[in-house]
């Protein structure tokens, strides 16, 4: 079973509008972290935001927020006021905490969502 599922292979959004990128996860751990990375066409991986499983507040970083719904096991990324520079691949990832540093501590990635921002 996939640990991280991103159901939207590609999405379009109009410049200045908000967009939500979906991510669901599967884990039996109580302690875990959820991450979002951006990959522009140049290829580098850019860290955007993270959420800990015990965090009660949704994480926010500038125009990025993480809509964390623990019971649903979802960790959707919300980008407000989209910009042309937001066009990129976006990856959701999870790190389980059962035994950090062993195989359970690895970052597990979804397959990504390609976001295109239209002017």
Partner 1 sequence: EAQVTQNPRYLITVTGKKLTVTCSQNMNHEYMSWYRQDPGLGLRQIYYSMNVEVTDKGDVPEGYKVSRKEKRNFPLILESPSPNQTSLYFCASSPRGGPVTEAFFGQGTRLTVV
5 near partner 1, judged by CB under 8 A: no
68 near partner 1, judged by CB under 8 A: no
Which of 32, 36, 68, 90 binds partner 1 (CB under 8 A)? It is 32
**Residue 56: partners with Cβ closer than 8 Å, 6 or more residues away:** none
**Residue 102: partners with Cβ closer than 8 Å, 6 or more residues away:** none
> For residues 18 and 107, which CB has a smaller minimum distance to partner 1 in the complex?
107
105 near partner 1, judged by CB under 8 A: yes
Assign 3-class secondary structure to 55-107.
CCCCCEECCEEEEEECCCCEEEEEECCCCHHHCEEEEEEEEECCCECEHHHCE
> For residues 53 and 87, which CB has a smaller minimum distance to partner 1 in the complex?
53
56 near partner 1, judged by CB under 8 A: no
Residue 28 to residue 8: CA distance in whole angstroms: 24
Collapsing DSSP to helix, strand or coil, 15 comes out as: coil
The minimum distance between CB 84 and partner 1, in angstroms, equals 22
Which of 21, 23, 24, 33 binds partner 1 (CB under 8 A)? It is 33
Residues, the chain: 119
Q: What residue ranges bind partner 1 (CB under 8 A)?
A: 4, 29, 31-33, 35, 37, 43-45, 47, 50-53, 91, 93, 95-97, 100-103, 105-107, 109-112
């Amino acid at each position: 079973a996939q640990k991280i599922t991103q159901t939207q292979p590609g999405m379009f959004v109009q410049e200045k509008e908000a967009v939500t990128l979906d991510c669901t996860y599967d884990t039996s751990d109580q302690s875990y972290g959820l991450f979002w990375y951006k990959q522009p066409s140049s290829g580098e991986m850019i860290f955007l935001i993270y959420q800990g499983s015990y965090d009660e507040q949704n994480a926010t970083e500038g125009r990025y927020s993480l809509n964390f719904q623990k019971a649903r096991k979802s960790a959707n990324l919300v980008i407000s006021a989209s910009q042309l520079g937001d066009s990129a691949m976006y990856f959701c990832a999870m790190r389980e905490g059962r035994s950090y540093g062993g195989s359970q501590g690895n970052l597990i990635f979804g397959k990504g969502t390609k976001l295109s921002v239209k002017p």
